[in-house]
Chains A and B, each alone.
Chain A
Amino acid sequence: MINLDAKIPQGKLAEKWTNYKENQKLVSPNNKRKLDIIVIGTGLAGASAAASLAEMGFNVKVFCYQDSPRRAHSIAAQGGINAAKNYQNDGDSTYRLYYDTIKGGDYRSRESNVFRLAEVSANIIDQSVAQGVPFGREYGGTLANRSFGGVLVSRTFYARGATGQQLLLGAYSGLNRQIALGKVESFPRTEMMDVVVIDGRARGVVVRNLITGKVSSHFGHAVAIGSGGYGNVFFLSTNAMGSNGSAIWKAYKKGAAFANPAFVQIHPTAIPQHGDYQSKLTLMSESLRNDGRIWVPNKLEDAEAIRLGQKKPADIADDDRDFYLERRYPAFGNLVPRDVAARAAKERCDKGYGIENNATKEGVFLDFKYAIDRLGQKTIEERYGNLFQMYEKITGDNPYETPMKIYPAVHYTMGGLWVDYELQSTLPGLFIIGEANFSDHGANRLGASALMQGLADGYFVLPYTIQNYLADQFDVKRISTDSDEFKAAENSVKAHINRLMNVKGKKSVDSFHRDLGKIMWDKVGMARTATKLKEAIEEIKILKKEFWENVEIPGDTNTINVELEKANRVADFLELGELMARDALNREESCGGHYREEYQTPEGEALRRDDEFMYVAAWEYTGDEKEPILNKEKLVFEETEVKVRNYKTAK
């Protein structure tokens, strides 16, 4: 068993972060120069952390697998970023943002972390504007806002449909400035292969240069991982092709507990799947639900006629349309949280009302006709122009003229490595930031809150909390990467690579990945049952065995070898997928994105079981062929009234 001490500071909720900062240990400027920090990842979390730590005076090395830090997956975020600025004077506050996030997460996140997130959110907007992030503005020159799902205020800041890009370019520019100053050394096209643990602390990483294949290692007094989410375990997701779970999986195997691996967000509005050759699913931003209305025909024969192309959406009269979100959730309508919207779409399609002409008939309409009638095409174009263009390029349909077709897709992973209040994992010296940790979103993340969390972690939280750890580390001498510990770590990475290369099988990495994805989607997806989860565990085990007997990786190890890169990641996904199924099986309740069919209300809403499951499930690795141990962090809500999530009425 491991010790899950969350190190929550003393005091009232609203005072904890201030108390923490007033009492924490700091590192003096001349000692910062003696300390090296390794940052894995250049997304919002990694880039902002690396830049901020370097500005403070630490020596930073930053790694990413892309050819440039600017291409980290955060670049693809579309809709926006939340902050409790209350610029719209609509009653927003730190408390309300905190409350919405806790409630949105179905009371499965840690109160103190979430409150801090809400508290620092406003600073993120200030920081980004100062860097030159061109947020949308009103005619008077002040910043504009929009609404996202699950809330009743407008607190989302946006830069057209490319908010992630602009925020990341802001963080990247800060990073570049520190690279130019020599305070950050950047290693693009370099993949972290393992964490090096010496005397029980994380002291560095083993990496592989993706161009030369060279395996080498780097020392750090501390290591921070911001490697993003693991949604690609489902093969098809809205994540970038290279997004992976390997960095945190390797860390898990070195002693960092993995929290709530089963908590996956299925986003309600992605473009439906169109063929077996499909490589990814494209998200249509949640912001579209501000102005788009979701519907399916309310007659089965109309749905069928649309699928067969005998009728067009425009042929269905308003009375024959079922705006099912508005019908079921009058208070929030089309802006219910993601998990609720996704399940409602599945419910309609399972009943035969789906409108997409694909193998599974899965798709619903997202219709802008009403908004265009009300606001004019120009306004809609201004708000969503690039998203509409993207949709048309992919589908060949023009959404100004005909409704978009959408369906839920795997999007985000709330689960991740367990961290305490300081963002430190159960492996001392290893910190986890951004989507890679589990901390703030509970069982469901609200829209526009991932960008907020990534930047909160990187700009405003880690740069403080890591000092509390480093304060007594400055006289720890740098450990040579020629030492036995580093060499042993490198050798085990090399052995792993050789093992993969020596399989010399016949089946491509992608086909294994696709097979895994299918098991995950069918059995560990939107509607889970004990039976399906048990089957998934067995099927994944068989697939994993086959992988190690029959995976085909051509080429060499000492040059660019994309199949080898993918194989390394899929090998980890095969293990992570199993842990996800195990966690989902253990959690005998429905909460947020985790929906167990056995646990629902008579109306089909998620049924939480607070008495038994008000805890974070933190899994501890015990060996490759051994079962992991479940550790529990009990969630205590001192200042929050725990309620049943209700989006039918306001509040």
Chain B
Amino acid sequence: MSDKNINIKLKVWRQNGPNDAGRFDNYEMNEIPTAASFLEMMDMLNEKLLGEGKEPISFDHDCREGICGACSMFINGRAHGPDNAVTTCQLHMRKFKDGDTITIEPWRAKAFPVIKDLMVDRYSLDLIQQAGGYVSVNTGSAPDANSMPIHKDIAEEAFDAAACIGCGACVATCKNGSAMLFVGAKVSHLALLPQGKIEAKERAQKMLAKMDELGFGSCSNTGACEVECPKEVSISFIARLNREYLVANLKD
């Protein structure tokens, strides 16, 4: 792979705090190696701002391997930028061309207030998990792991749902700001497995109720979330969630 250097212009959202109106600031960056990751480019920009005695841009990140779900930028109108099945930290500058202008915004959703610049508050996603995203089992009470065989295909499908990294790209992409893909992923992951099946209905009910309460929108099946999900979580899991929910409500 031959990598080179490019010059780019950046339009970055700067916002001092939740109550600040916010604005775009423009920056120019020259000689950016295309082998660099997008966040390394942001590091270089911050280093440059520091050199000028200015405050660097705040953004969330940690693992830089596409698994912790911390990084969260809206790049050129797309959550995690112009590549498929990646997080912002896995996006590389070779996806951009010399002379490009790149617009960078925070996740925008009612349930994700901006903390500063590109950093938003996603604690609402934790609150949804706390509402029911678990199997009620205490440490030490588990039977032997092989006592309950699980079909390989089922385990694989459960993994596909469990792959969600809780980044919130689905919410930021959805025009209604809904968290249905996120909830569908957890409900399906656990409902598919015998261990999680038992509480499946109550789980779906509780997590959805919490989602509504926290100001997430409802799902109108446009499928935009699936396209931007870095872990390619399928919207078929929303259908499964709806089934679990329906069964739950019929029973009540």
Contacts and interface: CB of A to CB of B under 8 A. Distances in A.
B145 A125 contact: yes
B108 interface: no
Interface stretch (B97-105, B125-133, B243-251): B125-133
Contact of A176 (B53, B130, B151, B159): B130
A73 B148 CA distance: 31
Interface stretch (B116-124, B169-177, B211-219): B116-124
Interface string B181-223: 0000000011001011000000000000000000000000000
B142 A68 contact: no
A255 to B, nearest CB: 30
Given A127-B140, A159-B159, A176 B134 contact: yes
Interface residues of A, number: 81
A503 interface: no
A438 interface: no
Contacts of A166: 159, 162
B64 A241 contact: yes
A55 B139 contact: yes
Contact of B92 (A169, A241, A393, A460): A393
Interface string B153-185: 001101100110110000000000000000000
Contact of B142 (A66, A87, A123, A242): A123
Most buried by B among A67, A75, A87, A277: A67
A510 interface: yes
A463 B138 CA distance: 13
Given A134-B158, A240-B64, A390-B90, A554 B193 contact: no
Interface in B1-23: 1, 3, 17
B49 to A, nearest CB: 9
Contact of B56 (A174, A188, A275, A554): A554
B106 interface: no
A460 B138 CA distance: 12
Nearest to B134: A173
A165 B134 contact: no
A76 B67 contact: yes
Interface string A540-574: 00000000000010110001101100000000000
A560 B135 contact: no
B162 to A, nearest CB: 5
A135 interface: yes
Contacts, number: 216
Contacts of A140: 149
B195 A132 contact: yes
Given A134-B155, A389-B85, A66 B64 contact: no
Given A142-B146, A166-B159, A560-B58, A280 B152 contact: no
B158 A67 contact: no
Contact of B152 (A67, A139, A563): A139
Interface string A133-144: 011111111110
Task: Kindly name the residue among B35, B121, B162 whose own CB sees the greatest number of chain A CB atoms within 10 A.
Answer: B162
A67 B126 CA distance: 10
Interface string A629-641: 0000000000000
Contacts of B50: 508, 552, 554, 563
A51 interface: yes
B65 interface: yes
B135 A70 contact: no
A241 B71 CA distance: 12
A396 B94 contact: yes
B43 interface: yes
A66 B70 contact: yes
A497 interface: no
A43 B144 CA distance: 24
A567 to B, nearest CB: 12
A486 interface: no
Contact of B145 (A143, A277, A552): A143
Contact of A560 (B116, B155, B156): B116
B170 to A, nearest CB: 16
Nearest to B120: A67
Interface string A265-309: 000000000110111101100000000000000000000000000
Nearest to A130: B142
A342 to B, nearest CB: 20
Nearest to B161: A134
Contacts of A482: none
Contacts of B159: 134, 159-160, 166
Residue from A123, A174, A279 with most neighbouring chain B CB atoms (10 Å): A279
B2 to A, nearest CB: 8
A163 B129 CA distance: 20
A421 B158 CA distance: 38
Given A134-B159, A176-B129, A560-B119, A393 B64 contact: no
A447 B122 CA distance: 33
Given A173-B134, A277-B40, A552-B50, A130 B195 contact: yes
B116 A559 contact: yes
Interface string A169-198: 100111011011000001010000000000
A165 to B, nearest CB: 6
A245 interface: no
A498 interface: no
A30 B190 CA distance: 33
A136 B119 CA distance: 35
Nearest to A509: B50
27 contacts: A67-B122, A68-B122, A68-B123, A73-B63, A75-B68, A75-B165, A87-B146, A127-B137, A129-B145, A134-B158, A134-B162, A134-B189, A137-B150, A137-B155, A159-B162, A179-B130, A180-B130, A240-B63, A240-B64, A277-B44, A279-B40, A393-B66, A393-B86, A460-B140, A554-B50, A560-B119, A563-B56
Interface of A: 48, 51-52, 55, 66-71, 73, 75-76, 85, 87, 123, 125-132, 134-143, 159-160, 162, 165-166, 169, 172-174, 176-177, 179-180, 186, 188, 211, 240-242, 274-275, 277-280, 282-283, 389-390, 393-397, 459-460, 463, 508, 510-511, 552, 554-555, 559-560, 562-563
| A-B pairs, 6 with minimum CB distance | A141-B149, A396-B1, A173-B134, A130-B142, A126-B142, A134-B159
Given A75-B67, A142-B146, A173-B133, 7 more contacts: A70-B69, A87-B146, A126-B142, A130-B143, A137-B150, A140-B149, A177-B136
Interface of B: 1, 3, 17, 33, 35-37, 39-40, 43-44, 47, 50-51, 53-56, 58, 60-70, 83, 85-86, 90, 92, 94, 115-116, 119, 121-123, 125-126, 129-131, 133-146, 148-152, 155-156, 158-159, 162-163, 165-166, 189-190, 193, 195-196
